[in-house]
């Protein structure tokens, strides 16, 4: 059967390898949306204050678990926020805990709540040594922050200025290049050693910078790394649907209250957790590659993290549904991806 008229797809339950759940009142919305479909999620640590220790990660996990719906087996996979002062001992404690699966590098100033991030990776070499030794994954927001670097070039420059030297100094360190947005990153990951992989978001597959800037400025399409030109979008689609084991699902679903997005200096982040796997199904169908969705969404991630694949399955059907203009979020509301429009796949089980 040609895929273009495929009307149903069943796949092993997917996981989200890059997710912002936020905290406290926000958890009711974010945890239930993700937990209704995904088996596990790598929960990003960029809270205020950030999750910089195993103890804080455990407390955070407990707050998340309280919001998991009764009928869901969802498991949050916790991460630590790397700072200049993170000790190797903290890495050993994290590994020992069994609940921390990775450490996240936010270059200071690169994105939301990144001001406590790393100012110079050289400060972290003992910590990185420990991570390499015990196989703790380093997740990177791959952008430089120098003011003289064009925002559209930040990711490309990060490869040469940070990633390549890092991989030379730590050739065994397992790295996830998060939310890649350029052909440069896709090509680099494809050709680099097996210990580096990448996540790709649904918005960087479905949108490009025209969707941010044409016909008016669209604040709900503003995210970091920023949407790039369509040639980069095409390169990401090619990578995601290539069948390569180095690319897997990471929504980077990053909610902000509506007022924070619709502002003269709006927050960066796109909320997709309400319809993430459906949005990926649209992107893979458009590329006539629905047969590649299961590996990208359900196999490549657990395989790279050396975790078991989920055993149960989900089914989506080709059915359009209306996305609300807003969703409740903490004590206010957020504008989800595709708000006020339709999504053309629907999870039925």
Ligand X SMILES: NC(=O)N[C@@H](CC(=O)O)C(=O)O
Rule CB under 5 A: which residues touch Zn ion?
111, 141, 252
| Region for residue 260 given its phi and psi (left: phi exceeds 0; alpha: psi -120 to 50; beta: otherwise) | alpha
Q: Which of 254, 273, 277, 293 touches ligand X (CB under 6 A)?
A: 254
Least separation in angstroms between CB 179 and ligand X = 6
Choosing from 153, 252, 303, 312, which is the catalytic residue? Answer: 252
Torsion 286-340-67-99 (CA) sign: positive
Closer Cβ to ligand X, 18 or 292, answer by number: 18
Whether residue 221 is annotated as binding a ligand: the answer is no
Query: C-beta of 212: minimal distance to ligand X in Å?
Result: 12
To Zn ion, the closest distance from the beta carbon of 82 in angstroms equals 13
Answer yes or no whether residue 155 interacts with ligand X by CB under 6 A: no
How far apart, in Å, are the Cα atoms of 272 and each of 27, 43, 182, 295, 348?
15, 15, 20, 20, 18
Residue nearer to ligand X on the CB measure, 252 or 285: 252
16 binds ligand X (CB under 6 A): no
For ligand X, the binding residues in 32-91 under the rule CB under 6 A are 46
Kindly state whether residue 156 participates in binding ligand X, applying the rule CB under 6 A: no
- Contact status: 20 vs ligand X (CB under 6 A): yes
In this chain, which of 33, 155, 252, 282 binds ligand X, going by CB under 6 A?
252
Strands of 149-221 (E only): list them: 175-177, 196-200
Q: Which residue lies nearer to ligand X by CB, 27 or 316?
A: 27
Q: Least Å distance between CB 268 and Zn ion?
A: 9
34 makes contact, choosing from Zn ion, ligand X, none, with CB < 5 to 8 Å by partner type, with none
Report the chain's terminal Cα–Cα distance, integer Å.
Answer: 23
Q: Which of 39, 107, 269, 302 binds ligand X (CB under 6 A)?
A: 269
Residue 252 known to be catalytic: yes
The closest of 272, 111, 268, 102 to 201, measured between CA atoms, is 272
SS3 state at 277: helix
SS3 per-residue string spanning 72-137: CCCEEEEEEECCCCCCHHHHHHHHHHCCEEEEEECECCCCCCCCCCECCHHHHHHHHHHHHHHCCE
The answer on whether 66 is annotated among ligand-binding residues is no
Counting residues that bind ligand X (by CB under 6 A) gives 11
Secondary structure E strands in the chain: 8-12, 16-19, 40-43, 75-81, 100-105, 137-140, 175-177, 196-200, 247-249, 313-317, 321-322, 327-329, 332-334, 342-343, 346-347
Pairing of strands 321-322, 342-343: antiparallel
46 is in an annotated binding site: yes
Between 27 and 290, whose beta carbon lies closer to ligand X? 27
Query: Any binding-site annotation on 179?
Result: yes
323 binds ligand X (CB under 6 A): no
Q: Which two tokens stand for residue 51?
A: 């999750």
**x/- map, 217-246, ligand X, by CB under 6 A:** ------xx----------------------
Say how far apart CA 125 and CA 36 lie, in whole Å.
39
**Within 10 A of 41 (CB to CB), how many other CB atoms are there?**
28
- Is 268 assigned to a binding site? yes
Q: Could you check whether the bond before residue 218 is cis, i.e. omega within 30 degrees of 0? A: no
Q: Is 274 annotated as a binding residue?
A: no
Residue 274 interface partner, choices Zn ion, ligand X, none, CB cut-off 5-8 Å depending on type:
none
In the annotated binding site, the residues are 18, 20-22, 46, 104, 141, 179, 224, 252, 256, 268
Q: Which residues are catalytic?
A: 252
In the annotated binding site for Zn(2+), the residues are 18, 20, 104, 141, 179, 252
Interface contacts to ligand X, rule CB under 6 A: 20, 46, 111-112, 141, 223-224, 252, 254, 268-269
């Amino acid at each position: 059967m040609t895929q273009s008229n495929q009307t149903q797809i069943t796949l092993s339950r997917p996981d989200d390898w890059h997710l912002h759940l936020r905290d406290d009142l926000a958890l009711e919305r974010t945890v239930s949306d993700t937990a209704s479909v995904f088996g596990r999620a790598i929960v990003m640590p960029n809270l205020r204050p950030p999750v910089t220790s195993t103890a804080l990660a455990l407390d955070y996990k407990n707050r998340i678990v309280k919001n998991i719906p009764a009928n869901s087996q969802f498991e949050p996979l916790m991460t630590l926020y790397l700072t200049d002062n993170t000790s190797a001992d903290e890495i050993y404690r994290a590994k020992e805990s069994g609940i921390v699966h990775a450490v996240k590098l936010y270059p200071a100033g690169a994105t939301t709540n990144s001001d406590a991030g790393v100012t110079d990776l050289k400060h972290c070499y003992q910590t990185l040594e420990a991570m390499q030794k015990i196989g703790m994954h380093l997740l990177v927001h791959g952008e430089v922050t120098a003011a003289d670097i064009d925002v559209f070039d930040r990711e490309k420059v990060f490869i040469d200025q940070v990633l390549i030297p890092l991989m030379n100094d730590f050739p065994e360190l397992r790295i996830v290049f998060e939310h890649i947005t350029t052909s440069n990153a896709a090509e680099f990951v494809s050709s680099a050693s097996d210990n580096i992989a990448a996540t790709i978001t649904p918005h960087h597959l479905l949108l490009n910078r025209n969707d941010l800037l044409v016909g008016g400025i669209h604040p709900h399409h503003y995210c970091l790394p920023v949407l790039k030109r369509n040639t980069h979008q095409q390169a990401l689609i090619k990578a995601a649907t290539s069948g390569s084991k180095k690319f897997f699902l990471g929504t980077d679903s990053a909610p902000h209250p509506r007022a924070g997005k619709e502002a003269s200096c709006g927050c960066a982040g796109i909320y997709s957790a309400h319809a993430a796997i459906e949005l990926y199904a649209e992107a893979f169908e458009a590329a006539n590659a629905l047969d590649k969705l299961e590996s990208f969404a359900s196999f490549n991630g657990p395989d790279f993290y050396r975790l078991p694949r989920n055993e149960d399955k989900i089914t989506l059907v080709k059915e359009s549904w209306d996305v609300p203009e807003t969703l409740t979020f903490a004590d206010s509301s957020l504008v989800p991806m595709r708000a006020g429009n339709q999504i053309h796949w629907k999870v039925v089980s």
